[in-house]
Amino acid sequence: MGNSILEWVGRAPLLAGLPLVSACVASENGQIPPSALIGSAFEGGARARVIADGKTVEFSMVAIGDLDIPSGRMVVCDPFACEPGNPFTRRVPTGRFPVQLAVTRTPSGEQRVAYARILFSDRPAVRWEMALPPGESLDGSQTDYAFGFPVETGTGSFMDAAVQGPYLTAAADRNTKQQLIAALNERQASGVAWLVRPSGPGSIAMFETGFGDGYYISYFGFDDAGQVVSLTADLGVIERPRS
């Protein structure tokens, strides 16, 4: 990762009212399909080509800690440019669950976080569904739109909606924000940047995003019984299937 989190935060305005809907590539059955390795990349040993330059990369999985989820209403956003509200419509199990990163490494040693996920079950996902904000559906009526989250500071995060308010209040304090940035950059020195911290009634998990700033889509993974087993942010490193 070329820039520190501090450099990104320093140049990025706090965003007010960014739309959750952003024009994107053509979809299938009302949703943009995830990139091909969204599930298998966490197993390690997988190989793929990166979108930006076609380099062949290998994956490793980094377990960054457990996330406390008190209400099951999830928010995925840039933690330093995040507005209140807009949790996903679909609820997830409550409790404490592991957060994992699927990290690519090129032969030269360059690393990128390709996917970040919360794992609710060890059962494999056999179907993926785009995570949607309130009022949206996968009925095919908006086939050229993706629903995701904008990143302006090279950082994404998972948090429960009940955590978002207390976190945003705390992060509005300059000293608190600087402490979070410093902790992220300290992690970055040894590879990829990530941080799990308690906040309010739960916790927040932060992670660096793909090639930095961008617009990223999250997906719910379902097992063969139709139960949610994961929530994964696809961070735009690996190419999606072509229609």
Look at residues 223, 59, 77 and name the one whose alpha carbon lies nearest to residue 148: 77
pLDDT at 53: 62
What span, in angstroms and rounded, lies between the C-alpha atoms of 89 and 131? 8
pLDDT at 25: 41
Look at residues 2, 20, 5 and name the one whose alpha carbon lies nearest to residue 215: 20
Look at residues 206, 197, 242, 80 and name the one whose alpha carbon lies nearest to residue 150: 80
Q: pLDDT, tens digit, for every residue of 5-50?
A: 444 443 333 322 233 333 334 445 557 888 888 988 998 666 665 6
pLDDT at 187: 79
pLDDT at 95: 98
What span, in angstroms and rounded, lies between the C-alpha atoms of 45 and 37? 11
DSSP assignment letter at 240: P
Looking up tokens 């450099």 gives: 7
pLDDT at 54: 64
What span, in angstroms and rounded, lies between the C-alpha atoms of 242 and 240? 6
What are the distances in angstroms from CA 118 to CA 108, 149, 171, 201, 242?
Answer: 29, 16, 23, 18, 26
- CA-angle at 133, arms to 131 and 134, nearest 5°: 135
Q: pTM for this one?
A: 0.85
Q: Which residues make beta-bridge pairs with 77?
A: 157
**3-state SS, residue 195:** strand
- Note down pLDDT in tens along the chain; length 243 residues: 445 544 444 333 332 223 333 333 444 555 788 888 898 899 866 666 565 566 677 888 999 999 999 999 999 999 999 988 889 999 999 999 999 999 988 777 788 899 999 999 999 999 999 999 887 777 654 544 678 899 999 999 999 999 999 999 999 999 999 999 999 988 775 578 999 999 999 999 999 999 899 999 999 999 999 999 999 999 988 877 655
Q: Are 177 and 80 in contact (CB under 8 A)?
A: yes
| Residues with Cβ within 8 Å of residue 53, at least 6 apart in sequence | none
